[in-house]
Amino acid sequence: MTSVSLEAQIIPFIIFILIISFWSLSIIYAKTNESIGSKKEVKAFKGMLLSFMVYTLEDIRLIFGNDFYSMLPYLLVCLIISIGFASMSFACFFWFLHVYASLHINKTHFTKNKIDILGILIHIPLLIVVLILFTPLHSIVYILVDDMPVFGSGLMIILAMDYIYLIAATGIALYNYKEAKTSFEKRKYGSQTIFILFFTVNGILIAFLLNLPAIELSMIPVVLKLFVELQDSQIYTDALTKLYNRRRMREFITEEISTCSRENPLSVIMLDLDYFKSINDILGHDEGDKVLIAFSKALRKVITSRNAVAARWGGDEFVVAGKDENLATNIRGLLEAELQKNKSLNFMPPFSVGIYQCRTSGLEYAVLLSEADAALYEDKEKQHKSLKEFAEKLNELKNAKM
């Protein structure tokens, strides 16, 4: 009976892992679109998936074992090895961009003479990696000796550049976790911190499983978890405005009522765009959507520094809730100021506001919404006195475009 070497037995296992990995990544890539996250988050996540797919293809070399380094021309072997290292660096870079997309900061502070300084700094570690790996400098990372790769001190530079992105992304995730206003957000940002553990575990695995697809073995569970987190955000997010939807706001208010008191009241604010039907009828539904998006952005900016969340309640109605004592202070004026800054709008969309403060934990969420809605109705009666003037202004804008 002819015995089969252990190396020959492992080859089918390697092929199986590589096929499953590439197939899984391809499916996730195809299912990832802007309906499950912001445009920047989705682009970065897809970039990370592509980087992993390239790495999986590069790992086909494992099927040939050590013979791989002698069966191809020297320059081609070097190119494949460099692509392998670079794909992991690109994965770290795109992961950083994915987490960075959720960080709300005023980026104008990092712009000088229209030069995006922060954008340049973000790309420097990746540029260093590319410069080293795809020039003669790659010899400080690896060289081929007797058709076998020997790694040098330059490998530590590549790893250091990767960990700059990983540590920065982890720092952002921890900051977002600290600032999170809901349990859903805490779960999302908490999950993001596991990514640096993935790369650390990979480093350990590769040391022991040098000729096996170690990264693929730990990559798929992590990518699947991140994809599920994105899918979960779709359940709680309004597709058009990217605010929370009615379902998530209902859960948030229900959670917060349990800790309501006179000293720690929960403010619920209902907002409604006035004459929204006239905007749709006169300027068209595309213009109406533009108003909804602009109003949502203004709402998000106003509550960013306050302990509150915002949701599109339905149609042209929005709800803000939170326990910040200043949440309801001058909210109309702050929103109008933000809307005036929006250059995509040619007019100020009028809106009504209803505010209610819950000071007891014994109420149902429906009661809070009913009280806020009653206050909204009172404000709407005051605001709805200039429909004719507003409609004339809309018609003027329409005629000016024709």
Domain total of the chain: 2
Q: Is residue 189 part of a domain?
A: yes
Distance in angstroms (rounded) separating the CA atoms of residues 177 and 172: 8
Q: Is residue 289 part of a domain?
A: yes
Q: Is residue 23 part of a domain?
A: yes
Amino acid identity at 165: Y
Same domain, yes or no, for 263 and 186? no
* CB-based contacts of 258, cutoff 8 Å, min separation 6: 361
Question: Is 162 in contact with 199 (CB distance < 8 Å)?
Answer: yes
The residues with which 354 forms a beta bridge, in sequence order, are 270
Q: Is residue 1 part of a domain?
A: no
CATH code, domain carrying 366: 3.30.70.270
Q: Is residue 91 part of a domain?
A: yes
What DSSP designation does 363 have?
S
Same domain, yes or no, for 362 and 251? yes
Identify the pLDDT of residue 1. 45
Same domain, yes or no, for 231 and 256? no
User: How does pLDDT run across 87-134, given as a tens digit for each residue?
Assistant: 999 999 998 998 888 776 555 545 555 566 777 889 999 999 999 999
Last residue of a domain, one of 236, 270, 303: 236
Q: What 3-state class would DSSP assign to 310?
A: strand
Same domain, yes or no, for 178 and 285? no
Q: Is residue 198 part of a domain?
A: yes
pTM for the structure as a whole: 0.72
Helix (H) or strand (E) holding 270: strand 266-273
Last residue of a domain, one of 236, 261, 285: 236
Q: Domain range holding 379?
A: 246-401
Last residue of a domain, one of 184, 210, 236: 236
Same domain, yes or no, for 139 and 50? yes
CATH code, domain carrying 179: 1.20.1070.10
Residue written as token pair 């109003």? 295
Same domain, yes or no, for 203 and 317? no
Amino acid identity at 110: F
User: How many helices (H) and strands (E) in the chain?
Assistant: 15, 8
Same domain, yes or no, for 276 and 216? no
Same domain, yes or no, for 309 and 381? yes
Distance in angstroms (rounded) separating the CA atoms of residues 280 and 233: 29
Q: What 3-state class would DSSP assign to 328?
A: coil
Q: Is residue 185 part of a domain?
A: yes
Helix (H) or strand (E) holding 91: helix 74-100
Same domain, yes or no, for 281 and 331? yes
Identify the pLDDT of residue 41. 81
Q: Is residue 241 part of a domain?
A: no
Same domain, yes or no, for 31 and 114? yes
Chain-centre distance of CA 225, in angstroms? 14
Same domain, yes or no, for 164 and 267? no
Distance in angstroms (rounded) separating the CA atoms of residues 203 and 197: 10
The tokens describing 291, both together, are 């108003």
* CB-based contacts of 278, cutoff 8 Å, min separation 6: 387, 390, 391, 394
Distance in angstroms (rounded) separating the CA atoms of residues 234 and 251: 15
* CB-based contacts of 219, cutoff 8 Å, min separation 6: 21, 52, 198, 202
pLDDT averaged over 10-residue windows placed end to end, the chain, 402 residues = 59 88 91 72 89 92 82 88 92 90 60 67 94 94 84 90 90 83 72 73 63 75 78 77 87 86 88 88 87 91 83 92 85 90 84 90 86 89 70 74 64
User: How does pLDDT run across 34-69, given as a tens digit for each residue?
Assistant: 666 667 888 888 999 999 999 999 988 888 877 888
Same domain, yes or no, for 67 and 145? yes
